[in-house]
Chains A and B, each alone.
Chain A
Amino acid sequence: MSSTPSGENLDRRTRRRGDAIFRMLAQGSGAALLVIMAAIAVFLVLQAVPALNADTTSFLTTLKWAPDGTPSSFGIAALAFGSVLTSLLALLISVPVAVGVALATSHYAPRWLARPLAYVVDLLAAVPSVVFGLWGLTYLVPNIIAPSTSLNHYLGFIPFFASNGTYGKSIFAASIVLAVMAIPIISAISREVFIQTPRDQVEAAWAIGATKWEMVRTAILPYGRSGIISGTVLGFGRAIGETIAVALVLSANYEISLHILEPGGNTIAANIATRYGEAGEIGRGALIASGLVLFIITLIVNFGARAIVGKNSRGGAS
């Protein structure tokens, strides 16, 4: 080192400093991202605690939402139930449709049609949720009354389809809107995995004399299972976090009811949108507490999906 001319030495040092600074910037940004995630948890907890302390009833089991009342009483039970119910119903509708679309765009549709079809379904994901909400409110809700009535008429003996005789702004309507919003997510991810099915597997199925459906069942679906699962989970995350569209098509109440055709039902996210404007100090804290629960649910769902997919891909690898 001592033998190097000092000028070159200096040059090298500034060079190294440039690299070091850039590296620190990049790594610092990565760290900052982690800090943001941590801050989300910390600040939601900090602002939720005072309201939770003011709550005179149990947060986890109380149905009603009267945080600014005297005494203050609010709970997450009805909201969490509504969130999970609407999201599950949305998945019940959207997963089969999305897998069908994914099969259409990956293996069934002729090439000239497959690309535009995939593109159109992707565009569905780009439509802002508030527009879906508006559509749900002005078109879907009035038009869902007739099918709801017949569902109740023919299948009313099943508790889900029981009703007090009124229909419209219901869990059913919300689930349909959420399903439409979840379809592009689930189908995009499933499609990605479907088209990656090794040609070997597809040809092996054809060669033993499989029909198209049998080929799909023996080669594509087993290979694509992890994609369907992770797509479903992401779709669930999208559905349970959706706020505005649900707020517009639900007539909020705070009960736990399986009667999906009746007006009523509420979700954590929609409740924040509808009660935010009128909330007082405790009310805002209470809404943040509910947001924290939503955050935790999505975290659990995400981690769970990762575990399932990880296990699957290890088991399925040949």
Chain B
Amino acid sequence: MAINWFKYSAPTTFYGLAGKLIPWFAISAAVLCIVGLYIGFVVAPADAQQGEFYRIIFIHVPSSILSMFLYLIMAAYAAMGLIFNTRLSSMMASAIAPTGALFAFISLWTGALWGKPMWGAWWVWDARLTSELILLFLYLGFISLHASIDDPRRADRAAALLAIVGSVNVPIIYFSVQWWNTLHQGSTIKFTGTSMHIAMQQAMFTMLVACWLYAITVTLMRVRSIILERERHTKWITELAEVKA
């Protein structure tokens, strides 16, 4: 039997699939979050240099990673929407943007809370911090540009262009600590290995997976709302059980 790979690329079929997947992603996100926080606060030892302060890393690093990855995924969906003219890709891009912005904000905010006791400053204009701030602005720009154009298909195309051009910023964030002198330290997670106590690593990676699952959950929820809103005049929507009720 040949598998139809494109079956779920139509909003009609994806709407139902997303609805079935959401509870699974939501539950596993909640469970992993509890496990991650338990390891992070109870199992993992204090840091030799930073004492207890370093523990904010368990939310800071996952949200920074997510903010960058989500941007690339959003840009990829936006590009797919432009190239193939598929409705669902552009809807996915719009659905990811608020979550990406949230993670970029959390990354900056927890970074400031961490910076004050350790570095002695809430904020410095170093390359890492500034480029992450630009990432937040790109997300906000994507959302507001999309919202400012009435015709959704035209809004998709304009915002897609912004998303694609802005993706140049992501490698700059990642490599900023290597390319320039920054106050922010270098990467702990490297291709050559992670310079971190094993329990700390377990907590951080568990939280990372939890954040991924959370991001997927809310993106699917949001894309379902977008599908309902945009396709509200179609027959299949008016025949949905939850719409009829």
Indicate, yes or no, whether A interacts with B: no
Residues of B that sit less than 8 Å from A by CB:
none
Residues of A that sit less than 8 Å from B by CB:
none
